[in-house]
Structure 1
Amino acid sequence: MATVFFLISIYLFFSAETSQSLQSNITKGSTLFTNSTPNFWLSPSGYFAFGFYPSGNGFKVGTWLIGRPRNTVVWTALRDEPALLPGVSLVFTTDGRLLVQNFTQVQLIAETNQKAQVAAMHDSGNFLLYGTNMEVVWATFRFPTNTLLVTQELGPEKILYSSKSDTDDSAGDFKLLMQGDGNLVAYQSKSLQVVKYSYWSSQSKSNTRGVSLTFAADSRLYLANATGFSIRNLTGGTLPVNKTTLYRVTFDVDGVLRLYQHQMGTDGSLNSIVLWSAINREDRCSVKGACGLNSYCDRNGADNIACLCPPGFDFADPNQPNKGCKLNSSVDNDCFLKGANDDYMISTLENTIWERDEYEVLTPVSEEACSKACLEDCYCVVAMFKDQVCFKPKLPLRNGIKNSSSPSTSFVKVRITNAKNIITKKLGKELLITGVVLIAFSLVILASSGYLIYTHQIWGLKVMTSQDCPPDVLRDINLTSFSYDQLAVATNDFMEEIGKGASGRVYKGSVPENGGKEIAGCYGAGELKKVVGEVEVNLEELEKMVKIGLWCVQTEIDLRPTMKQVILMMDGTIVTPPPPPPNSAANN
């Protein structure tokens, strides 16, 4: 039985290159122009064409399967060269060379050791050049780009490169190599050809030399040794062989090898379906390089994938998410100062990992310890935790994937000041600094300034009745103007500077009034509504401002928040906890 398969394969292979009954001959001196009609040579069946096809703003030379609504390119010449300009000619010269000729130069399409006498477009999709004795001196089948057609093979150490996109047939991001050890292996185009960087393999274990990937007429895709004997089937084959069914194998744009079946009609391919895929749809995130650097791949429904950025990163090109992500902040020198970790926080990604390439490994550790270790390490941006081991990978991150079947946790360090910048833009820089100054200056003015920030309309508060709050609160809940001399006395001649911003410096001072105590009393009794009377305000915001103010006037300096913490509490980035009883602090 094996002998029969061997003889059939030999017959199919040689008949494809030597048969003239299924080909259209092209004589020497024939010329095509980009703007000629037609600008291609057609096979006898009308299914395949060789010539110029549109590419970007120009043309390329190649072979395509004619179809509706669009053709399918199966071979491209000068693949990584720029598109040809209109007016270029494709010439089968009188001295037997196949070349492209433009206004300034000549580019050879077929490099041969002898001059060709005739060219032919075969019904198999193979374009051939024949010598004097009708021997094949050159054929497109011998130099596959991203597709194999029936009877075509990928020989030892030969490579299929995916296309850059569905509209750009230049070599793309992935390659499929028929290795010398008999394994068919898929890699990223720009990676070393070692196991670490592979993402799919035929898993051949024979370690046989001289193995080729062969595509039989019945759609069987298999690995054959140097004698043509099949050593491993990738697909079953045994599908119909007739004039209305055509098969092709393409290493697609997404780095996956697929077998297609085309139903042919009088106008070419009517439709196509996928018969086999080396990688299932649900596993497409396993393709290394499916998403670019610093990103990770996640399933988006049953049939699609999505490329996402971890916290603290933005897409390098928002219009092309698969091109990867970039950090939206950089580590400042102050990261190395004591207490600078306050500028950062940790965000968590579950079941998300990147390729192992760490600069430090901690073991055994807990999740909490791993998170803390990254937060305290100025060189750490991401830490991956799994099985009590903490990995700190180098940047850029590579081949990220979210996989629920592989439990793990990744910690991403995010700079908090990014949030502060957003807050500043949203509220307005001057208004925000003014609010901070008023908070530090007086609790009474703080309540009023908070009201100003969130309503932008009301510049005074109504007088309350004596039944609502003690009478002496009345004079304290309205904005008060101070002269320079009064401010000098209140601040002890501006003795203690506690902060500064775009609006000026902030000094510690004391106003000998007790309205702060009364407002604190209303807050403690849960009756802040009495402070504003019938004026409509956002009580939640008013309560938050009063709480912040009470924190700011604590008598114990260590209890007072920093300027940054005040900003974050005002914006709601961090929760404002209930302050301790004001005691005498309300006088400050």
Structure 2
Amino acid sequence: MAFPRTKCLSPLLLLPFFALLHANLSSAADTISANSSLSGNQNITSSGGNFVLGFFKPGNSSNRYYVGIWYGKVSLLTSVWVANREIPITDPATAELKISADGNLVLLNQSKAIIWSTNVTASSNSTVAVISDSGNLQLRDESNVSRVYWQSFDFPTDTWLPGGKIGLNKLTNENQRLTNWKNSDNPAPGIFSLEIDPKGTSQYFVIWNMTKSYWSSGTWNGQIFSGVPEMTANYIYDFEYVSNASENYFTYSVKDKNVISRFVMDVSGQIKQYTWLDNMQQWILFWSQPRQQCQVYSYCGSFGSCNEISQPYCNCVQGFSAKSQSDWDLGDQSAGCTRNTPLQCGRSSNSSNSEKDKFLTMSSMKPPVNPNTLAGVGSSEACELACLNNCSCTAYSYSSGGCSVWYEDLLDLQDQYNGSNASTLRLRLAASELQSSDSSKGKVTWIIVASVAAAIACVAIIWLVIWRRRSRRMIQETKAVGGALVPFRYSDLQHATKNFSDKLGSGGFGSVFKGSLPDSTVFAVKKLEGVRQGEKQFRSEVSTIGTIQHVNLVRLLGFCSEGTRKLLVYEFMPKGSLDTQLFHSPSTALDWKTRYQIAIGTARGLAYLHEQCRDCIIHCDIKPENILLDDSFVPKVADFGLAKLMGRDFSRVLTTMRGTRGYLAPEWITGVAITAKADVYSYGMTLMEIVSGRRNLEQTEEGGTGFFPTLVASKLIEGDVESLLDQRLGGEANMEELERACKVACWCIQDDESSRPTMGHVVQVLEGFLEVNMPPIPRSLRVISETSENINFFYNFSSNPSSQTRSATSSSSNTKSSTSNSSGA
């Protein structure tokens, strides 16, 4: 039986239909149209897969969902824009992101009420929402893609992406600003923001509570912002500042499209620049301002005090407790602290014995903001009485400058402050918070005294017995191992360091404390932070580090591994770290002979790690802080091997660097694989600091900024290396060694890692066994030279960029040839 032909369609006739269907499906991957919407786990992805738009849940929030944009090629969920910042959704399955009848993109909650909208007037209701590979969400005309009604780049939240802009619309007076999240779990607007000066000057401010500016970029001079000199050393980004009749704004782009970078107005109140390293699967903090956390205005809130040398940074002052401990735990201290006990002043009391308020003495404090000076008060006692008689007075301070009092809340407190305006603050508290000597001591009977004395005697005897046994055991263990690693108990190290009370310093891997064995052997104990490895792997890595011994490497004596507590025991270096000798001891400057031997010794230690160990060990954090000195100023490289031990958690290590880029090789930022040449770059930057005795990037007394590597490159060409020497040495140096050190330092900091020498070659050059030709000026330094007229160098450096470039170019080929021959030799 034959079927009627009218019921059958030719496959050829269906091809246009399938082609059209395929085109619609493809375009829908990055688009929300009138016939589509997002709910639940649905999302759209940009054409290249860079960004995703959909519902997400930040941090550890349990039932708060938001519509946002996040990276599609980053393994960690990292949002860059949030629509409904202040109105979360509890059930994304019943919510909907769609195109409304009037053409707007709207977000409906479970009750189908609009809680967010693009809120524009579109000339056509035939609109679509498209997410681009730049991370920009656009609402545009479906038939005319060039007609854009709204875009997310015009309404940034906390993140500034390449291609986006931060600026001021002069026609509408609207400021496109970044505003931080309230805390790590809540994207609602916080109190810190980054915005352009609304008065029209070409500078940016970081602002507290929309009222107080506490950091400025400085004005735009045509090439950089004067307060951000590191822009001159940039070869990753293109920056542009635009000012016209309708708007002022600043934007940037990434030269290498494979680099994933973002600027964030952080919960901490700092503006931060992050770069994603795919081979490490983590974000690297590359730049931040203000550089110190306690420089963020009122970071700890009212009656909260910031301490730069402790963690956490914020604590409530005595007599106060956090208003919201849950917010504090999430990084939001803006609510500050509240009194534990109300003040007596102003309270009605029938008791004639009610004690008056008293004052807590707080020394080395940064004075709170908004002091009030009382004229005619000539003594500390009179100043205290004046404050006591005013119920609104919460603190006072008396000095040669007179009597200062503060009313209501105290903001921007900082303890252990060493600024020039440090003072002694007297904080008003209820009497019960500060008991008098008589009431605090009380009256004790002779029975209690006898009981306490007996208890103390018993404890002392027990402690003496334990101490002698522990001492005997530790000495025996140390001698028994014959130089091998000693597995210490945590309690023994706790005792040997007096409960970790004598802190020698701290770095990216943890804090270091001084300890001593019962036989008076002094050592250093590093308490590791953030170790991700298990017990077996940790012991294996430590064992490997322990086998590495060299005269220019700090020796590992032992370790402790008890649960999450991981500690390393090192030999003690009496002279401390190199940075202390170079930068913090103006009266005892190292002579040139000692400096040169430190440079050679450090190079030998690194060469051993790179070339003579069974597996090449890359240090990843070479800087003066990690070069320690023994009694004879013999240098020893510290913290080698810890990068691998920490699971290559470099982001935290690199954020501890002094300055901005400091000693960081360019390849860290471009995301390529890290080799031993990264250490060579860091060594070159360190060698320049050994020569000059100053930080490579340093603020001048006149308010400018100097970048020493630029001067080195210039003076080498001019043949004037003597001017590069630390002025404290008075010209006392071997000029041949000085020139040799400057040349090899410039070779070490070449942008292309293949142009840098190995550390073995560096040692041979410094020891005089290899000759080295004039190095070319690295491209990044040429950029600085070309803009040097716009920077106030503290070295009064003025150069001819074009002549430098020609000189460097003409010698480049010869230099490379010499390096090649040296390698062969």
TM-score range, shorter chain: 0.5 to 0.7
Q: Deviations over 1:518-561 (max 9, x none)?
A: xxxxxxxxxxxxxxxxxx656799xxxxxxxxxxxxxxxxxxxx
Cα distance between partner residues in 1 of 2:128 and 2:317: 58
Q: How does 1:66-77 map to 2 (within 5 A)?
A: 66=72, 69-77=75-83
Cα distance between partner residues in 2 of 1:229 and 1:358: 38
Query: Cα distance, 1:76 vs. partner?
Result: 0.8
Q: What is the match of residue 329 of structure 1?
A: 342
Say which of 200, 209, 213 aligns to 1:198.
213
Cα distance between partner residues in 2 of 1:360 and 1:262: 50
Q: What is the match of residue 276 of structure 1?
A: 287
Q: What is the match of residue 255 of structure 1?
A: 269
State whether structure 2 residue 106 is matched by structure 1 residue 99: yes
Q: Deviations over 1:496-524 (max 9, x none)?
A: xxxxxxxxxxxxxxxxxxxxxxxxxxxxx
Gap change, CA 1:394 and 1:49, over 3 Å in 2 = same
State whether structure 2 residue 170 is matched by structure 1 residue 175: no
Q: Which runs of 5+ in 2 are unaligned?
A: 1-25, 169-174, 223-227, 456-825
Query: Cα distance, 1:29 vs. partner?
Result: 1.1
Cα distance between partner residues in 2 of 1:245 and 1:41: 22
Q: What is the match of residue 79 of structure 1?
A: 85
Give the conservation status (yes or no) of the 8 Å contact 1:374–1:381: yes
Q: What is the match of residue 15 of structure 1?
A: none
State whether structure 2 residue 155 is matched by structure 1 residue 143: yes
Query: Cα distance, 1:416 vs. partner?
Result: 3.1
Gap change, CA 1:118 and 1:299, over 3 Å in 2 = same
State whether structure 2 residue 402 is matched by structure 1 residue 389: yes
Say which of 182, 185, 204 aligns to 1:184.
204
Cα distance between partner residues in 2 of 1:66 and 1:168: 21
Amino acid aligned to 1:46 = G
Cα distance between partner residues in 2 of 1:177 and 1:391: 34
Say which of 309, 313, 327 aligns to 1:300.
309
Amino acid aligned to 1:401 = Q
Give the conservation status (yes or no) of the 8 Å contact 1:335–1:341: no
Q: How many residues align?
A: 395
Query: Cα distance, 1:369 vs. partner?
Result: 5.5
Identical aligned pairs, as a percentage? 21
Give the conservation status (yes or no) of the 8 Å contact 1:352–1:410: yes
Q: What is the match of residue 365 of structure 2?
A: 352
Query: Cα distance, 1:370 vs. partner?
Result: 4.1
Query: Cα distance, 1:392 vs. partner?
Result: 0.7
Provide the secondary structure at the position in 2 that maps to 1:410: strand
Give the conservation status (yes or no) of the 8 Å contact 1:23–1:122: no
Cα distance between partner residues in 2 of 1:272 and 1:228: 36
Q: How does 1:116-127 map to 2 (within 5 A)?
A: 116-127=126-137
Cα distance between partner residues in 2 of 1:334 and 1:140: 53
State whether structure 2 residue 177 is matched by structure 1 residue 159: yes
Provide the secondary structure at the position in 1 that maps to 2:445: helix
Q: Which runs of 5+ in 1 are unaligned?
A: 1-19, 208-212, 436-448, 456-535, 542-588
Query: Cα distance, 1:152 vs. partner?
Result: 0.8
Give the conservation status (yes or no) of the 8 Å contact 2:294–2:307: yes
Q: What is the match of residue 323 of structure 2?
A: 316
Provide the secondary structure at the position in 1 that maps to 2:237: coil
Q: What is the match of residue 573 of structure 1?
A: none
Query: Cα distance, 1:324 vs. partner?
Result: 1.6
State whether structure 2 residue 426 is matched by structure 1 residue 411: yes
Gap change, CA 1:297 and 1:539, over 3 Å in 2 = closer
Amino acid aligned to 2:69 = T
Cα distance between partner residues in 1 of 2:308 and 2:55: 38
Bigger CA radius of gyration: 1
- Residue range with higher mean Cα deviation, 24-33 or 403-412: 24-33
Q: Deviations over 1:348-393 (max 9, x none)?
A: 1122234433455246745566456545666543113454222111
Query: Cα distance, 1:109 vs. partner?
Result: 2.6
Q: What is the match of residue 458 of structure 1?
A: none
Cα distance between partner residues in 1 of 2:438 and 2:380: 31
Query: Cα distance, 1:88 vs. partner?
Result: 0.8
Q: What is the match of residue 90 of structure 1?
A: 97
Query: Cα distance, 1:67 vs. partner?
Result: 5.5
Query: Cα distance, 1:119 vs. partner?
Result: 2.8
Q: What is the match of residue 144 of structure 2?
A: 133
Q: What is the match of residue 445 of structure 2?
A: 450
Cα distance between partner residues in 2 of 1:333 and 1:228: 55
Instruction: Give the root-mean-square deviation of aligned CA atoms.
Output: 4.3
Query: Cα distance, 1:345 vs. partner?
Result: 4.0
Cα distance between partner residues in 1 of 2:438 and 2:43: 62
TM-score with structure 1 setting the length: 0.58
Cα distance between partner residues in 1 of 2:276 and 2:69: 16
Provide the secondary structure at the position in 2 that maps to 1:384: strand
Amino acid aligned to 2:64 = G
Amino acid aligned to 1:417 = S
Amino acid aligned to 1:130 = R
State whether structure 2 residue 295 is matched by structure 1 residue 286: yes
Cα distance between partner residues in 1 of 2:410 and 2:382: 22
Gap change, CA 1:537 and 1:78, over 3 Å in 2 = closer
Cα distance between partner residues in 2 of 1:252 and 1:308: 20
TM-score with structure 2 setting the length: 0.42
Cα distance between partner residues in 2 of 1:70 and 1:110: 28
Gap change, CA 1:416 and 1:46, over 3 Å in 2 = same
Gap change, CA 1:420 and 1:29, over 3 Å in 2 = same
Higher helix share: 2
Query: Cα distance, 1:247 vs. partner?
Result: 1.6
Gap change, CA 1:122 and 1:231, over 3 Å in 2 = closer
Gap change, CA 1:539 and 1:343, over 3 Å in 2 = farther
Give the conservation status (yes or no) of the 8 Å contact 1:346–1:375: no
Query: Cα distance, 1:100 vs. partner?
Result: 1.9
Query: Cα distance, 1:163 vs. partner?
Result: 0.7
Cα distance between partner residues in 1 of 2:288 and 2:407: 34
Give the conservation status (yes or no) of the 8 Å contact 2:367–2:425: no
Give the conservation status (yes or no) of the 8 Å contact 2:214–2:296: yes
Cα distance between partner residues in 2 of 1:241 and 1:22: 28
Q: What is the match of residue 566 of structure 1?
A: none
State whether structure 2 residue 49 is matched by structure 1 residue 46: yes
Higher strand share: 1
